[in-house]
Structure 1
Amino acid sequence: MGGKILNLISFELEALEVNVYSSFPNQPFTFPRPFSSRARRGEGCNIFSGDWVPDPDAPYYTNDTCSVIHEHYDCMKYGKPDLGFVNGRWQPDRCDLPRFDPWRFLDMMRGKSIAFVGDSLARNHKDSLICLLTRAAEPKPSWPSSKQTVYYYGEYNFTVTNFWAPYLVQHEQIDEDRPAHTGLWNLYLDEPDDVWAAHVAEFDYAVVSASSWFYRPSMLYEAGKIVACHYCLLANVTDLTLRYEMRMATRAPLRVLSGADGRFRGTAMLRTVDPSQYEGGEWNKDRNCVRTRANRSGKKRLEDFEFDFRKLQMEKFAAAEKAAADAGGKVRMMLMDTTAAMILRADAHPSKYRGWTPEKHFTLHNDCVHWCLPGAIDTWNDMLLHMLMSA
Structure 2
Amino acid sequence: MRNSRSHGGLVSYLSILIVATFSTQLLPQVFAIPSSCNLFQGSWVSDNSSTSNNNIPLVYDSSQCPFINPLFDCAKHGRPDRGYLRYRWQPSACNLPKFDGKVFLEKLRGKTLVIVGDSISFNQQESLTCLLHAAVGPDSKITTGAMGPYNSNYVTFQEYGEVTIAEFYTRFLAQITTEKIGRVLKLHLINDYGNVWKDADVLIFNIGWDFIQDGENNPIVRDMDRTLAFRKALTTWAKWVDSGVLNFAKTKVFYQGFYPDHYRPSEWGQPELKDCALETEPMSGSTYPAGPPPRLSIVEQVLSSIKSPVQFLNVTTLSQLRKDGHPGRYSDAGNGFVDCTHWCLAGIPDTWSSIIYAYLTR
Q: Tell me the TM-score normalised to structure 2 length.
A: 0.79
Name the residue aligned to 1:222: 216
Structure 1, unaligned stretches of length 5 or more?
1-35, 177-183, 233-238, 325-331
> Aligned-pair distance for 1:351?
0.2
Name the residue aligned to 1:272: 257
Name the residue aligned to 1:342: 319
SS in 2 for 1:222: coil
Q: After the TM superposition, which residues 8-47 of structure 1 pair with which residues of structure 2 at under 5 Å, given as runs?
A: 37=32, 44-47=36-39
SS in 2 for 1:255: helix
- Alpha-carbon displacement from aligned partner over 1:94-139 (angstroms, at most 9, x marks no partner): 1010111101100100121110101110111000000000123353
**Cα–Cα, structure 1 residues 353 and 255, in superposed 2: closer, same or farther, change >3 Å?**
same
Name the residue aligned to 2:7: none
Name the residue aligned to 2:42: 50
Question: Do the aligned partners of 1:118 and 1:168 also contact (CA within 8 Å) in 2?
Answer: yes
Structure 2, unaligned stretches of length 5 or more?
1-30, 51-56, 267-272
2:157 aligned with 1:153, yes or no? yes
> Aligned-pair distance for 1:286?
6.3
SS in 1 for 2:171: coil
SS in 2 for 1:64: helix
2:272 aligned with 1:292, yes or no? no
Q: Distance in 2 between matches of 1:197 and 1:301?
A: 38
Q: Distance in 1 between matches of 2:131 and 2:159?
A: 17
- Alpha-carbon displacement from aligned partner over 1:223-281 (angstroms, at most 9, x marks no partner): 4x33644xx3xxxxxx5x332111111111232234x1434431111111111102469
Q: Distance in 2 between matches of 1:78 and 1:212?
A: 29
SS in 2 for 1:140: strand
Instruction: State the one-letter code of the partner of 1:205.
Output: V
**Cα–Cα, structure 1 residues 187 and 146, in superposed 2: closer, same or farther, change >3 Å?**
closer
TM-align CA RMSD: 2.6
SS in 2 for 1:371: coil
SS in 2 for 1:95: coil
Q: Distance in 2 between matches of 1:374 and 1:297?
A: 23
Alignment equivalent of 1:208, drawn from 183, 197, 205: 205
Name the residue aligned to 2:107: 108
Alignment equivalent of 1:370, drawn from 342, 351, 355: 342
Q: Distance in 2 between matches of 1:375 and 1:144?
A: 26
Question: Do the aligned partners of 2:287 and 2:317 also contact (CA within 8 Å) in 1?
Answer: no
Question: Do the aligned partners of 1:301 and 1:343 also contact (CA within 8 Å) in 2?
Answer: no
2:295 aligned with 1:309, yes or no? yes
Name the residue aligned to 1:71: 70
Q: Distance in 2 between matches of 1:370 and 1:48?
A: 20
Name the residue aligned to 1:333: 310
- Alpha-carbon displacement from aligned partner over 1:177-225 (angstroms, at most 9, x marks no partner): xxxxxxx86221111111x3120232011111122423xxx221114x3
Question: Do the aligned partners of 1:168 and 1:193 also contact (CA within 8 Å) in 2?
Answer: yes
Q: Distance in 2 between matches of 1:348 and 1:383?
A: 18
Instruction: State the one-letter code of the partner of 2:329.
Output: K
Question: Do the aligned partners of 2:259 and 2:315 also contact (CA within 8 Å) in 1?
Answer: yes
Question: Do the aligned partners of 1:189 and 1:222 also contact (CA within 8 Å) in 2?
Answer: yes
Q: Distance in 2 between matches of 1:261 and 1:308?
A: 30
Alignment equivalent of 1:168, drawn from 169, 173, 181: 173
Q: Distance in 2 between matches of 1:185 and 1:380?
A: 33
Q: Distance in 2 between matches of 1:212 and 1:59?
A: 34
